[in-house]
Every structure is written in C-alpha cells, then in structure tokens.
Amino acid sequence: MVYQEEKLIEIRRELHQIPELGMQEFKTHEYLMTCIEQLNQQWLTIKQIPDVPTAIMVRLQGYAPDKTIGWRSDMDGLPVLEATQLPFASQHIGQMHACGHDMHMAIAMGILAHFADNQPRDNMVFFFQPAEETIGGGIKVYEAGVFQGIWQPDEFYAFHDQPALATGVLSTRQGTLFAAAAEVRFTISGRGSHAAYPQKGLDAIVAGSALVTQLQTIVSRSLDPVHNGVITIGTFQAGEAGNIIANQAVLTGTIRTLRQSDIEVMFKRVQEIAKGVATMFAVEVLVEIEQSGYLAVENDTELVNDFIRFMAQSSFEFEVAEPAMTGEDFGFLMSKFKGMMFWLGVGDMAHPLHHAKMTPDESALKIGVDASVAFLAHRMESKSYV
C-alpha cells in the first residue's frame, strides 16, 4: 500500500505518543513491525538482530539489481518533558520525540511502503536504528556483523528534520554537514578540609575552575583558525557545604569539530591540559572521552553532487546548507559505506531541536517521502554517476 498523507500523519502521531530512550525502543519496535507486516511482502525480507533487539532491518529485492541502496531511520526519543499540549503528546512522561525521530520513522515507512508496492530496480535495505541520541546505535549494529553479504549497502542515505528551515525545503552541502562529536568527563580528586584551613586541603573546585578556563584555549590556540571547533563544559558538580574544602569535582561536557583530524588534536590537548592542572594543584584528574560512532558526517562527493543536481532540476525546494555542529552517529556508517545525509525543513522557527515545544509541520512528511522516492528512483535509473 502506498501511503497517502493522512496515513503518514497517523503513523507519525502514534509514534510521537510512545517515545522511548536508546536501546529501550520496544513499543516503537512493535509498532513499526506491525506497519511493516501490513505491507506487500512479495519482495520483503525482515531481519531481527539479537544483539540489538530493538533494531529492525528490511530488505527489498530489486528486479534488475546493480547495487544495494540503504536508508537509515533513527528511532529513539529524548529525556525531555513535553510541553506542546498537543492532543497526541507523549504518553511517556519525561520522554519526548523532541528531535523529530517520529518524523524520520514515518517518512522511512512511507518510502518503504512505496517500493514494497513498486518493486525497485536495485536492492534496498532499510535500517531502523535505536540509540542515535545516546550510545551510537549504528556502531552497535555494525559491530554485530549485520551489514554483510546481501545486507551490505553500496550507497547509504539518511536525513534529519530541521525546524529552522521552511517546511519541505531540502538542504545539504558538499563535504562536512554535521560535526564529529565526543563526550568528555573529568573526575578531580583532591583532599577535603575545613574551609578555615585551606592549606590542609587540595581544593577540587579551584582545580576544576582552572581546568574549565584552560580548556577554552584549545580552540583559539591549538586549532587552525580557519577550522571550526567547540568545547563546552555543561556540568560541574562539587562540594557538600560552604565551609568545607571540596575533595572531589566531576565535570562533563562535549567536544565538536568539523574534521575528525581536528577532534583528535583536541583529545590530545584535553589530556595534556588535565595533566598540567593535576600537577599545578597537586590533585588527580581522570579524563574519560567517548566518541563512539559520532564521527563527522562527510557527504560522499559523487552522491551529494548528484543529489544537489537532481533537486535543482526538480520541483522540490532546495538550498545549500551551512555546516552544523550537530552530532550524528550516521557519520560512523558513512565512514564504512559510501553515504550522504541531508536536512528536511519542518518549519518550527520558534523551537529548535531538543526543545520541549518543538512541533514539526506535518505537511513536510509527504514532501519528504516524495522527494526521497524520486531521488532514489533516479539513482536506480542512472547508469552514469559523475
């Protein structure tokens, strides 16, 4: 069954009511499986992944395949208390599809439904991925050995909704679209004492404050000035009372750059600065850095040029994107397979991604399906890829 706009909206709204955090998407998995099982099964093969039980793989057999085209849709929600007041708001208190993954899944289902009724020329693999927001579900599935043999894509595509873009506008760019991203955690261990006798303690708060200040020199003094990077310390937890020297501080933050080589420079400098702070204040500083699968999303030159050219000649609205410091674990899969990612405008200028009131314009659903189906069909028909 080819989905009409009303069906896409229905799927999106039902998914919106059941957001689940990474690796806990069991209701979402069940709902998607019900939708998939209602499709024409003639060319479909469904694969479950025991090591990542909420993930779903669906393969479509092409009628004259030269390659396999992959499509990724993330599934998880965020730990956000929804404040939209919508009649179909989240039923899971404290969890919300504030990043629009409900839109992603509905559009992926629309594309899958189209090709289930209209057998594609090339083979297709649809990957419904858990845990994009947390541990990088893409790398977990890759490490489970799933993308092999008939499940290995020759081209891999994904998109992300963008409330800052007008509804239905498609946007991407050559080179890096989204940043490489990593999480960092510092545990500073000093020695507590009475606040009146600071000389008897090793103040973790003073050391942590110096650490925060010194970390801010990395971008300005260790990266090429024409490159982009950011390091943000978002939490600083220390101390038990105003008259006690804190014996421990825990700081967490994020590091982002538009080049993998630059983030590796930042990792090295973070370690060096932490070591220097430890020496200066006679404390211990444990540094934990986790990048997982959040590599830079670097569009394949051939695929992105063809996408831009196709959209420019179509009736769909398109504009060239600026690079963003947004992290996306599709970057890992793009480091393994030839791939491309793009934005889809959903027209909520007042509320950015991850906002408790983020409300995508649902008329973007049909546009997203139509544009994606048209481009994928073009990729199957074209024999000369420049």
Reply yes or no on whether 74 is catalytic.
Answer: yes
Q: What are the DSSP E strand ranges found in the chain?
A: 44-48, 56-60, 68-74, 123-129, 155-162, 170-172, 175-189, 193-194, 229-238, 244-245, 248-257, 284-290, 297-299, 318-320, 324-327, 339-345
In DSSP terms, which residues pair with 194 in a beta bridge? 244
| Residue range(s) of every CATH 3.30.70.360 domain in the chain | 179-290
pLDDT at 383: 59
User: 179-290 sits in which CATH class?
Assistant: alpha beta
Q: What type of residue is 256?
A: R
Q: Which helix (H) or strand (E) holds 366?
A: helix 364-381
pLDDT at 385: 42
User: Is 35 marked within a binding site?
Assistant: no
Superfamily of domain 5-168+346-381: Zn peptidases (3.40.630.10)
Nearest Cα residue to 103 out of 372, 374, 375, 296? 372
Give me the tens of pLDDT residue by residue for the chain, a chain 386 residues long.
789 999 999 999 999 999 999 999 999 999 999 999 999 999 999 999 999 999 999 999 999 999 999 999 999 999 999 999 999 999 999 999 999 999 999 999 999 999 999 999 999 999 999 999 999 999 999 999 999 999 999 999 999 999 999 999 999 999 999 999 999 999 999 999 999 999 999 999 999 999 999 999 999 999 999 999 999 999 999 999 999 999 999 999 999 999 999 999 999 999 999 999 999 999 999 999 999 889 999 999 999 999 999 999 999 999 999 999 999 999 999 999 999 999 999 999 999 999 999 999 999 999 999 999 999 999 999 754 43
User: Is 114 marked within a binding site?
Assistant: no
For residue 215, the 8-state DSSP code is H
Choice among 25, 133, 203, 370 that is catalytic:
133
Query: What is the rounded CA–CA span in Å between residue 38 and residue 223?
Result: 52
User: Is 354 marked within a binding site?
Assistant: yes
Choice among 20, 25, 74, 300 that is catalytic:
74
| Residue range(s) of every CATH 3.40.630.10 domain in the chain | 5-168+346-381
Query: What is the rounded CA–CA span in Å between residue 363 and residue 102?
Result: 14
pLDDT at 292: 87
User: Is 160 marked within a binding site?
Assistant: yes
Other Cβ atoms less than 10 A from the Cβ of 129: the count is: 28
Reply yes or no on whether 370 is catalytic.
Answer: no
